[in-house]
Amino acid sequence: MDDDRRAEAQHRLVRCPSCLEELYFDDRRLFLPVLPSNKMEPWDPSTEPNAIRRADQLNRAFLKCPNERVTTHFLPVPYLLHDRPLTVAFVGQSGTGKTHLLAAMMAEIGRGGLDPLGIRCRSVNSSRHHAYLAGSVNELEAGRVLPQTAARDFVEFTDALLVTVDGRTRPVAFFDVAGESLKLDGPATEFLLGVDAVIFVVDALRALRLNHLVLAREIAGVSQIQPGVPDPTFSIVLDRLPRKSELCELPTAIVLNKCDVLRFEPPVDHWLRADVGPPHVPTAEEIYRESRDVYAFLSHHQATPWLKPFAECRRCTLHFVSATGMSPAVLPSANRPGAGAFASAIRPRRVLGPLLSIFQMCGLLPSPGAATGLKGV
Ligand SMILES: [Zn+2]
């Protein structure tokens, strides 16, 4: 089966998610990481006569991107052996909770959060996925605050899954990019020109002027907020996304993150309470009502500039989310803003909603209609 996929992939053009080079699967460009250093060594599938061992090695192998003009980089082979990949970028300035949100999504998926919906997920590359789980998801679930994503001059996806729905499998790659990197031109942000969907993360502590958020802002080190000044990365990314007309056609979602600090504010309280019961793919009406409420809430609290993605994108849904379910407490030893740990086990709330909405808008799940036409409702 893997040999058949390999033969098919040799005729299917795939775009490198990092540098946008268009490439074909090519046996002559395969590498295998060799333990213990994980150094990439050239690998020829024809040297392994046993089909079972060859399939296993193929699953662990990487293809060297033919673009030699940038940093040498490799794509996991399973990323190239299935239907068209879907790439999702998380956008927001440092400290908005992008890293926590992606880790919380992966934790929910790892706990089988998508299984009742008939969505099966497995890793694109097992060793890299487990390294990501160990460095992010396990740390977060142990109550530790994750470090901010480091700025890089060349961006590769953070983690990727093979997502199967109704027998069709597509790779889904997630980019968690440092806010500082998003401000750079050139290779660092070229990947943005090729992403299939964007999740804009609004930091409730930065976007809202509510007085009762003062302490939470101090703990998070965001006490120096400037009223009415939106997240600069939103404009930078929106300006960079390709568009053929006035509106950007890329599916997008706006996530109002850190909603745990708003848990007594209507209608946020209603939506956090609604996050119980059996998981389901949101209906058109649910998507419309939640999007309407987020829009109204941000507008009411003078956070309209954070709604710019909704104004500029034809397809955009809005979501109330808390990646961790609580704010970190400051540790006595912490000597820098934002340092700390969570007082108890984290409780992510509604983190899979934006992902399901992106899946619907990108055709991975059946579209409920309103998700692709909120502006017309
Ligand atoms: Zn490349």
- Give CA–CA dist 166/155, Å, rounded: 32
- Give CA–CA dist 221/337, Å, rounded: 4
How far does residue 107's CA lie from ligand 1's centre (Å)?
28
Closest CA relative to residue 319, chosen from 342, 347, 348: 348
Strands 30-34 and 197-203, sheet pairing: unpaired
How far does residue 21's CA lie from ligand 1's centre (Å)?
5
Which DSSP helix (H) or strand (E) runs through 297? helix 284-300
How far does residue 69's CA lie from ligand 1's centre (Å)?
9
How far does residue 191's CA lie from ligand 1's centre (Å)?
9
Q: Are 110 and 133 in contact (CB under 8 A)?
A: yes
How far does residue 254's CA lie from ligand 1's centre (Å)?
28
In sequence order, what E strands does the chain have? 14-15, 22-23, 30-34, 39-42, 62-64, 74-76, 86-91, 119-123, 159-165, 168-176, 197-203, 252-257, 316-320
In sequence order, what E strands does 220-333 have? 252-257, 316-320
Domains by residue range for the chain, with CATH: 2-80 (no CATH), 86-376 (3.40.50.300)
Bridge-partner residues for 15, per DSSP? 22
In sequence order, what E strands does 212-369 have? 252-257, 316-320
How far does residue 18's CA lie from ligand 1's centre (Å)?
5
Three-class SS of residue 200?
A: strand
Q: Which two tokens stand for residue 75?
A: 């794509």
| DSSP summary character for residue 185 | -
Cis preceding linkage at 66, omega within 30: no
How far does residue 150's CA lie from ligand 1's centre (Å)?
20
Q: Are 9 and 182 in contact (CB under 8 A)?
A: no
- Give CA–CA dist 62/80, Å, rounded: 10
Bridge-partner residues for 341, per DSSP? 144, 329
How far does residue 97's CA lie from ligand 1's centre (Å)?
28
How far does residue 62's CA lie from ligand 1's centre (Å)?
12
- Ordered per-residue pLDDT tens for the chain, 377 residues: 677 888 888 888 999 999 999 999 999 999 999 988 889 999 999 999 999 999 999 999 999 999 988 899 999 999 999 999 999 999 998 888 899 999 999 999 999 999 999 999 999 999 999 999 998 888 888 878 888 777 777 889 999 999 999 999 999 999 998 777 777 777 778 889 999 999 999 999 999 988 888 888 887 777 666 667 888 899 999 998 988 899 999 999 999 999 999 999 999 999 998 877 777 889 999 999 999 999 999 999 999 999 999 999 999 999 999 988 777 665 444 444 445 677 666 788 999 999 999 999 999 998 776 444 455 43
Strands 119-123 and 159-165, sheet pairing: antiparallel
How far does residue 15's CA lie from ligand 1's centre (Å)?
8
What residues does the ion ligand 1 have nearby, CB within 5 Å?
A: 16, 18-19, 21, 65, 67
